[in-house]
Chains A and B, each alone.
Chain A
Amino acid sequence: MVLSSEVLEITIRSLMISSTATILSSSWSIPLSLRLSSSHSKLTNLIVSIFNALIGLPTVIVGLFLYMLLSRTGPLGFLQILYTPIAIILGEAILITPLIVSLAYEVFYKARVEYWEVALTLGADTYQAYRTMLRETLSDVIIIFLIAFSRALGELGVALIVGGNIRGFTRVFTTTIALEIAKGNFEFALTLGLILLIIISTITAIIRILGVRRE
């Protein structure tokens, strides 16, 4: 095991990037799924099925798409964020959006039938009813965040393509592991792999505990 300062640095950076991406993505995914869950139209059904279909979106596709947007000649090239942690955050946030929207829609749709209606008839305004619904579904929403976070933490395509795997700047678990294996540096790769595994297993355990407590 090589527990160097570089390992620590990569761990912290990976966690920071993926959690920021999860928060960022939630800032639009959660309001969107709340909105979708309160409508019955055909358009809503269509949007929901599109998001469902996009859950399995290959990470390299998102990476490629974002690369084209952010590259110097792309429409967003002037932002100059290609090969920065911001680009990875943005890419991962986009990547996990269909996942969060689909899962949250399911949760909110079920809650809407019950809690939403009850909140309204008890005199809540729309905002209060949304708050009540969020409160009732909090443990489910936390589970969704954790699932999305794991997906962001474990993905390679986006971080590699728009992060550039720059040492001390954009290097995260997955990109480092890929690089170190290519260099034949198995011990370092294994250490990082082990840490990643421990983090993901911990999250999975928390998800299970939350899931059981909810029943």
Chain B
Amino acid sequence: MIELQNVTFVYPNGILALDNVTLKITDEITIIMGANGSGKTTLLKILACLYKPTRGRVLIDGRDFWVLNKKERLKIRRKIVYIHENPVLFRGTVLENIMYPLIVRDHHVEEARKKALSIVEKLGIKHLINRRRQELSAGEAQLVAFARAIVADPEYILMDEPTNALDSEKREIVENFIIQLVKKRRKFVIATHDRLLAARLSSKIIELSEGKILRISSSNELLAKIKSILFQKDES
């Protein structure tokens, strides 16, 4: 479980991005919503143990991450992956990119290649494996980043506005994949503006506003709200 206790985050330029946030990630899928600049990305990077809170603690399975030694931090980081809103791919081919998490975990190259190939097949991007980053569309790059993030089978997958660049077909592939992984007990935290995605996928929705938690609700409530809106429209 990832738990934040009174986390405040101030950027070096003095901007207060998160203000005393306390929360636990317990659900299979947690959706983070909120206006631009409300702190969604910062929150995800704190959850991913990439940013160290200015104040407060990040507990992973009950252990205070930022007081652990390097080795223990590495072990924990390898359970959590964060996918940037604008995917950052490395130099080299798509396949090499997807093999990266396995290679740094000391998997054998051949084994890494096999695993990477099986992922790209499932995501329907096998035709891209020999391309380089400058030869991909935004949506394709997003899928590659997704494949690369899950290839080493982390426990927590944190996605930042994942469906922005995806067309409906790719969106469906990703959503189905998320559902499959949830069945394998993987947990997702997804920052998104997409209310429908939130309603379809999530069991919990956290709404952020100016770095603070505004409301925590269940997707059933959101779904009911959306239904009532649709229903009213149907009747009129």
Residues of chain A whose beta carbon lies under 8 Å from any beta carbon of chain B: 40, 114-115, 117-126, 128, 132, 135-136
B56 shortest CB reach to chain A, Å: 18
The reply to whether A122 and B100 form a contact with Cβ atoms under 8 Å apart is: yes
Q: Could you tell me which residues of chain B, from 142 to 179, have a CB within 8 Å of some CB in chain A?
A: 148-149, 152, 154
Looking at chain A's contact residues, the main secondary structure is: helix
- CB contact under 8 A between A123 and B105, given known A40-B12, A117-B50: yes
CB<8 Å pairs between A and B, sample of 23: A40-B12, A114-B88, A118-B84, A118-B88, A118-B90, A121-B50, A121-B81, A121-B82, A121-B149, A122-B81, A122-B100, A122-B101, A122-B104, A122-B149, A122-B152, A123-B78, A123-B81, A123-B101, A125-B70, A125-B104, A135-B90, A135-B91, A136-B91
Q: Which of B12, B77, B90 contacts A132 (CB 8 A)?
A: B90
**How many angstroms between the C-alpha atoms of A118 and B81 in the bound complex?**
9
CB neighbours of A125 from chain B (8 A): 70, 74, 104
- Chain A residue at minimum C-beta to C-beta distance from B78: A123
CB neighbours of B90 from chain A (8 A): 115, 118, 132, 135-136
**How many angstroms between the C-alpha atoms of A40 and B12 in the bound complex?**
7
**How many angstroms between the C-alpha atoms of A132 and B91 in the bound complex?**
9
A150 shortest CB reach to chain B, Å: 26
Q: Could you tell me which residues of chain B, from 61 to 83, have a CB within 8 Å of some CB in chain A?
A: 70, 74, 77-78, 80-82
The reply to whether B50 and A128 form a contact with Cβ atoms under 8 Å apart is: no
**How many angstroms between the C-alpha atoms of A119 and B81 in the bound complex?**
10
- CB contact under 8 A between A123 and B91, given known A118-B84, A128-B104: no
- CB contact under 8 A between A121 and B80, given known A40-B12, A126-B70: yes
A-B pairs, top 5 by smallest CB distance, nearest first, are: A122-B101, A123-B78, A124-B104, A121-B82, A114-B88
The reply to whether A115 and B70 form a contact with Cβ atoms under 8 Å apart is: no
**B199 within 8 A of partner (CB):** no
The reply to whether B50 and A120 form a contact with Cβ atoms under 8 Å apart is: yes
CB neighbours of A117 from chain B (8 A): 45, 50, 82, 84, 88
